[in-house]
Every structure is written in structure tokens, then in C-alpha cells.
């Protein structure tokens, strides 16, 4: 792939060209020259007024393969990811079978070879995600698993979590915790508060998340291990992690893009497209999450891309599955939350790779072209024609969004928006 990107504004804190307007010449997937007024005979893309940064990386997404390919497979999932600006994704092990041995890890890595999007399977923490016995984490680590988690199954057994933290410490891997105390959450489907009372539905209190974060912070401190909290959603959760970082604990966390915009007010019409886990919270929680991103407490933004067939979402709210597709809307939602471009690049491109100890791409001559070009002011309609996922469970389908990914480049492959 040979391409000259003209007059792009670089947003990359690690690049010597950060905040400069330059031309980037790419030959055979490598940045060969950066400067002004570069002359060449290759294809030219005019990026005047557009930003260019390292490709985004998603720490929390679901693709149905293995076993749930009717929801999403690697081909459609990575296509949607590329359209959203993601050049790397960490796959949750919420599959059938779960990614609980080196066989599943190696299968996914082999299937994803040669793709524009780099795929990093996350291995399970417990065998079959049952929360009873540790999985073969070291075998999976040697095969390419970058971190370990039971995905959307919170680990209820404190002893199991302690053993997992101690075990992974030996090879410096990271444990991802989905923080929810199921004994507190019960079978409730929405946030506990005014809206749950208005709807006549039992609610999940913030306490269910915060208790688990407090427990796992104690365990991480006791074992001196690394821990990452997935998709935090409450004010107190942000405060707990902020306090832990001040104490010097090896803790990081992320937030789902939709939790920066939506509140439980969206549930007034019982629309199952807004049914997510953790549940949509309150305006105060949204403000705390945004403040946590700005002060560095929250390290990353994730899509929490969770595809479902129509029969699992177009049903009564109580029985609908949790989750929305989010690859193609994550960037626009981060902008809608009022975050600056510099901060978005930090939270979507830089920090996620640091958390997984993956090399961070740099916009510099001699480096592999792993980058995204986007227009923060472009208005576009997200619809069924440009949705590249196999599933359609997004409340944003049919809506106009501001902030569009125009080019995604990695591994000598190129995605280009039709606009």
C-alpha cells in the first residue's frame, strides 16, 4: 500500500511532529517520509483540516467467534473496528467455548493473521468462566494471551481472585476485573434510583460495583499485583480508584463510551437497545466519569462492542440481552462527551496499549503506518448501509453523529470511508 496523506494535523504526544500540519508518505505499509510539500507519484489523500493519530485500540469488545458467529465473526467484527478507527482490539473471552486454553488463543490468532486490525485474545481467569478453578493462564500467556478475565462474569470468590493475582504476578500479566457483586445486584436489570422506581423495576445499586472494586483493590494491594477494572460506571468507583492510584497501587481502569453520554433517563420507553451492563447510571455518575478521564483516574475509553441477533434484543426489556455494538460510534461519543482530541487520542490509542504492554505506534519516519485520520467536525448518519457489523443493536442507528473516521491504516492495509 502506497499513499501520500497531505496536510494532516498530527495528534501524537510521542511524535516529533505532534500538533504540526505535515504530509505523510507511506510506502509498503511503512512511513518513509514526513515533511511539507512532499512530491510523489503515489495516490494522494487530501487531509487538510483533518487530524491524524496512532490507530485506536479497544480494551473491551466482543466478537462471537468462537461458537457465536451468528452475532459477529472476525471478518465482520474487524471490518466494523477498522471503520471506527481501531487498529487493535482485545477480545473478551465471552465465547462458546470460552477462551480458556491455548487452543482457543492460537485459533483466534491464526484466524486474524494478515488483518488490518491486530487481534489480541484475552484468556479466561477461571476454567470455563465458572469461577471455581484457575484456567491454564501461563499456557495461554505463552500462546499470546495478553491479559486474563472472566469477561462479563464477575469473579465472586475472593480466594480465586487472590490466587489469580498472585499467579499472574509471576509472569507480569494483568488481571481484568468486571466489578459486580452478584449477591447485591441480584436479578435486577437497571440502575437503582428514581428511574427504576418510576419503571417499577428492581434496580442494581451502585454498591454492587463499588464493593467489588474495594475488595479487588485490597487484594491487589495485598499481592502487589496489577489489576485493571473494566467498564466502571459510578461516582464512588472513580473515587476508590483515584485513592488507590494516589497510594501507588498498580491499578488501571476503563469506561465504556456510551456511559459518557447516556443516563438511565434513556430507559423511560423500555427500549431494550439501552439495556447494557453495567447499567446506565445517573447524570452525576456521567459527570464523575468525565472528570475521572480528565484528571487521569480513568485510563481508557472502550467500545464494549457487544453484538446480538435481533431475536435477543427486539423483545421485552426484562428478557433482552445486555449490550450494544459500539466500534463505529465510540469516537463520536467521546467527542459528544466534550473531550478534547488530545485526551481522546490518549484514552483511545496510547493508554490501552500501555495497559497491555503492547508497543505504542508512533507517527514518525521509519515506523510502521499504524494510524487513523478523522474529522472531528464531520457530520454523518450512522445507518444500516454503513454499519459493517453483522448485528444492528445500537440506539444510534438512524441518527446523525459528529466526528467521523475517514482512514484507518495498519499492516499494509487501508480502510477508507465512502464519504
**b/e per residue 375-392 (b: at least 16 CB within 10 A):** bbebebebeeeebbbbbb
State the average pLDDT over residues 251-278.
Answer: 97
Mean pLDDT across the stretch 74-100?
96
Band of the pLDDT at 375, cuts 50, 70, 90?
A: very high
- pTM of this structure: 0.96
Question: What rounded mean pLDDT belongs to the chain?
Answer: 96
pLDDT at 270: 94
Q: Do residues 350 and 285 both lie within one domain?
A: yes
Q: Does residue 419 register a pLDDT over 70?
A: no
Q: What is the CATH number of the domain that holds 99?
A: 3.20.20.140
Query: In angstroms, how far is CA 261 from the centroid of its own chain?
Result: 16
With a pLDDT cut of 70, the percent of the chain lying above it is 100
- Is 168 in the same domain as 299? yes
Domain count across the chain: 2
Please tell me whether residues 269 and 387 are part of one structural domain: no
Q: What is the mean pLDDT of residues 331-341?
A: 98
Please name which of 36, 31, 33, 30 lies closest in space to residue 48, comparing C-alpha atoms: 36
- What is the percent of the chain where pLDDT is above 90? 97
Residues 278 and 198 in one domain: yes
From 334, 355, 376, give the residue that closes a domain. Answer: 355
Q: What angle do CA 111, 115, 118 make, to 5 degrees?
A: 90
Task: Check pLDDT > 70 for residue 288.
Answer: yes
Instruction: Record the cell numbers describing residue 258, joined without a space.
Output: 456510551
Q: At 39, is the pLDDT very low, low, confident or very high (cuts 50, 70, 90)?
A: confident
What CATH number has the domain bearing residue 376? 2.30.40.10
Residues 12 and 60 in one domain: no
Residue 95, classed as helix, strand or coil, is coil
Secondary structure element (H or E) that encloses residue 302, with its range? strand 300-302
Q: What is the pLDDT of residue 391?
A: 96
> Cα torsion at 2, 50, 54, 302 (round to 10°)?
-130
> Are 45 and 89 members of one domain?
no
Residues 182 and 329 in one domain: yes
> Does residue 400 share a domain with residue 307?
no
Do 182 and 317 have their domain in common?
yes
Task: Write the DSSP string, 88-154.
Answer: EEEEP--SSS-S-SHHHHHHHHHHTTT-SSEEEEPBPSBGGG-SSSB--HHHHHHHT--EE--TTS-
**Average pLDDT of 28-55?**
94
Per-residue pLDDT at 418 exceeds 90: no
- Cell numbers found for residue 201: 423495576
273 and 348 co-located in one domain: yes
Output the nine-digit C-alpha cell for 42: 503515489
- Domain containing 214 equals 56-355
- Residue-wise pLDDT for 157-181, tens only, equals 999 999 999 999 999 999 999 999 9
Specify whether 46 is located in the same domain as 77: no
Residue that the C-alpha cell 500540519 belongs to: 21
Are 162 and 223 within 8 A, CB to CB? yes
Question: Do 392 and 340 sit in the same domain of this protein?
Answer: no
| Band of residue 216 on the pLDDT scale cut at 50, 70, 90 | very high
Amino acid at each position: 500500500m502506497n499513499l501520500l496523506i497531505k496536510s494532516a494535523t498530527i495528534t501524537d504526544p510521542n511524535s516529533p511532529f505532534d500538533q504540526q500540519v505535515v504530509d505523510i508518505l507511506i510506502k509498503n505499509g511503512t512511513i518513509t517520509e514526513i515533511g511539507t510539500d512532499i512530491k510523489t507519484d503515489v495516490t494522494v489523500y487530501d487531509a487538510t483540516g483533518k487530524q491524524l493519530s496512532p490507530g485506536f485500540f479497544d480494551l473491551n469488545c466482543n466478537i462471537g467467534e468462537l461458537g457465536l458467529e451468528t452475532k459477529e465473526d472476525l471478518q465482520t467484527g474487524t471490518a466494523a473496528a477498522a471503520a471506527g478507527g481501531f487498529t487493535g482490539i482485545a477480545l473478551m473471552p465471552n465465547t462458546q467455548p470460552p477462551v480458556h486454553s491455548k487452543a482457543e488463543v492460537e485459533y483466534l490468532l491464526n484466524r486474524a493473521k494478515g488483518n488490518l486490525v491486530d487481534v489480541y485474545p484475552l484468556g479466561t481467569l477461571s476454567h470455563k468462566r465458572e469461577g471455581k478453578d484457575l484456567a491454564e493462564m501461563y499456557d495461554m500467556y505463552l500462546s499470546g494471551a495478553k491479559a486474563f478475565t472472566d469477561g462479563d462474569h464477575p469473579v465472586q470468590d475472593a480466594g480465586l481472585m487472590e490466587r489469580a493475582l498472585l499467579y499472574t504476578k509471576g509472569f507480569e500479566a494483568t488481571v481484568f476485573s468486571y466489578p459486580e457483586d452478584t449477591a447485591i445486584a441480584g436479578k435486577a436489570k437497571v440502575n437503582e434510583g428514581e428511574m427504576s422506581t418510576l419503571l417499577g423495576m428492581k434496580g442494581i445499586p451502585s454498591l454492587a460495583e463499588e464493593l467489588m472494586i474495594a475488595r479487588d483493590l485490597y487484594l491487589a494491594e495485598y499481592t502487589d499485583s496489577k489489576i485493571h477494572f473494566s467498564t466502571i460506571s459510578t461516582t464512588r468507583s472513580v473515587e476508590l480508584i483515584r485513592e488507590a492510584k494516589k497510594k501507588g497501587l498498580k491499578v488501571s481502569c476503563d469506561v465504556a463510551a456510551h456511559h459518557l453520554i447516556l443516563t438511565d433517563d434513556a430507559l423511560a420507553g423500555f427500549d431494550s437497545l439501552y439495556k447494557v451492563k453495567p447499567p446506565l447510571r445517573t447524570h452525576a455518575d456521567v459527570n464523575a466519569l468525565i472528570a475521572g478521564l480528565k484528571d487521569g483516574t480513568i485510563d481508557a475509553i472502550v467500545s464494549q462492542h457487544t453484538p446480538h441477533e435481533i431475536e435477543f434484543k427486539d423483545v421485552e426489556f426484562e428478557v433482552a440481552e445486555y449490550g450494544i455494538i459500539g466500534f463505529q460510534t465510540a469516537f463520536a461519543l467521546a467527542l459528544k462527551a466534550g473531550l478534547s482530541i488530545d485526551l481522546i487520542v490518549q484514552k483511545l490509542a496510547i493508554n490501552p496499549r500501555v495497559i497491555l504492554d503492547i508497543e505504542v505506534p508512533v507517527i514518525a519516519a521509519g515506523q510502521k503506518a499504524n494510524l487513523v485520520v478523522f474529522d472531528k467536525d464531520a457530520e454523518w448518519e450512522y445507518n444500516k448501509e454503513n454499519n459493517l457489523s453483522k448485528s444492528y443493536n445500537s440506539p444510534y442507528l438512524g441518527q446523525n453523529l459528529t466526528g467521523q473516521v475517514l482512514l484507518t491504516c495498519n499492516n499494509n492495509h487501508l480502510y477508507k470511508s465512502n464519504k
